[in-house]
Amino acid sequence: MKYLLAVALFFFVLWIWRTAQGTRSGKQAPPASRAPEQMVKCAHCGVNQPVSESILTHGRYYCCNAHRNEAESVDD
């Protein structure tokens, strides 16, 4: 009977220890987000947007084709 009690106590301690380990390593900091993309300003309306979504014409960035066309027509 004493042996059974010792085994039960052993598993109880093991369970407590594993629970403590789980709560400690369960939640880790989220992985670092990707490096922020370079933001550029539309030369026509001034809105900031990622460089990959901008239209580059004559060294100027535009947010859309319409603004590029408007700015080009003004320049001419």
Instruction: Give 18's Cβ-side CA count (13 Å radius).
Output: 6
Residues at the interface with Zn ion (CB under 5 A) = 42, 44-45, 63, 67
Give 37 or 53: the residue with its C-beta nearer to Zn ion.
53
Pairing status of strand 60-62 against strand 55-57: antiparallel
Give 40 or 42: the residue with its C-beta nearer to Zn ion.
42
Give 40 or 63: the residue with its C-beta nearer to Zn ion.
63
Which tokens in the block code for residue 48? Answer: 């900031």
Closest CB 19 distance from Zn ion, rounded Å: 56
